[in-house]
Chains A and B, each alone.
Chain A
Amino acid sequence: MAEFEPVLTARWGMDAPVWIDEYERTGGYNALRKAVTMDPDEVIEEVKASGLRGRGGAGFPTGSKWDFVPKDTGKPIYLVVNFDESEPGTFNNRELVERDPHQLVEGIAIASFALRCHQAFVYVRGEFLYPGQVLERAVREAYEKGYLGDSVAGSGFDLEVVLHRGAGAYICGEETALLESLEGRRGQPRLRPPFPVVAGLYQSPTAINNVETLSNVPHIVEHGHEWFAAIGTDKSTGPKVFSVSGKVEQPGNYEAPLGTTARTLIEGHAGGVLDGKALKAWTPGGSSTPLLTAEHLDTGMDFESVQAAGSLLGTGAVIVMDERDCMVEAALRLTQFYAHESCGKCTPCREGTWWMTRVYQRLEGGLGRMEDIDLLVDTGDNILFKAFCALADGAVSPVTSSIKYFRDEYEAHVTEKGCPFKTRAQREELAAVTPRGAGVEGSIPLSEVLT
């Protein structure tokens, strides 16, 4: 693994963003030119054989997804690029686009060709003003150079690409909520089945792929599936851009083969825990994946190994917490995030995240009861796999995993009537704004609870 050559981040040393001249000079769009000479099914086969799995979190085999899109329904086929990257701790899509936007554009063009899709949409996270602007220019350049629009790369294959900016909702990263939003409706997830591959955007067959996933595609076409499958592990092939953040010396995106250990990422690439402190906890795949601890550091960062360790690879976003961090407060903040981002459609997520937020506020504010810990566990159980979409399952992860590994910290919040990691002054300040139990006058306005 030592001789791993960066793939997705190969152009990151250059002046950013890499515009089209530089991109072409460094071999860009060769893969597209090659792809359009192939049979579209051949391209799909190549991607299938490479073992590429979706990088958005679920890890579904990309080639199979493309295969499942029915090509002969008489309806248009759409490709929707999920660039609504909003998972706390995850920022690789953003940098991939900010630095090398044409890599994504080329991936979109090849995927569209394989799918017989003539209309692709990129759903850009609302807050991503700059990356959106970069991508907009890259798309314009690609049109001017004939890589998009009529007769892509002279092939006779036409492709229109439209960028659509979201309005700032985490839920719109959920693919069916994304489709609703793209169609101009409230961003709330849709009932499945039908699945988007069959009836997605405008009830037409739709492939929805993550930015990083598509960025891999030109390389697979150019170098072949065998080359790609040789990177990573047997079942988790290829390179991955890991976002490492939190209490590390050098937070950032680091590309490494799937299967690279967390220790290598944290202690190697990211320069170790900040200030030489001891690592307490980390997420392997963003805030929606259960926390792991120092004892799991040698876990390989691939789909199978992380799952075996009791968590999920998710987006490969490693958030590091050290010995100074309060796990109850960390869980509170994440729970607040999910309560704020819950779309409201289903009961367990809407009410459950709200409730857990309030329990956490009491624990942090010194008004916790010992039974609140089991209450949180049970509430988590009443939410997990019972909500409409996976957002709520993600919301449960930090709660149950932090209690599993750090129950003593929760108990300390109860016995010490407040957060042991805070000063007396901080605690008193917090207690003053903590919602009381029933029977106390004055409800806390929702805005205060959720922010």
Chain B
Amino acid sequence: MPDNASPVRQPAPPASSNSLEREVADLIVQALNLDIAAAEIDPHAPLYGEGLGLDSIDILEIALVVSKQYGIQLRADGEENEHIFRSLRHLSDYIAAHRTK
């Protein structure tokens, strides 16, 4: 047994796991009845406007499913909000950090 050994440091868990990301992608595709498969959504592409090309109605829809599924109420204030829909990765990270369900 090594003495003076530092405890093994676990790397910080990733902000959102791949499975959460896929789950969120599935949620989006289903809620919006999109014509593409969840797996086809580029996790780094913008969600709003360009990229996935969602509009404000879609964002509202996503806000509803996110609140139902993860217990998070989206709000427009705060710096975080600018980034939430910047990509699927951003959205999943936000959900991972704030989910209450």
A binds B: no
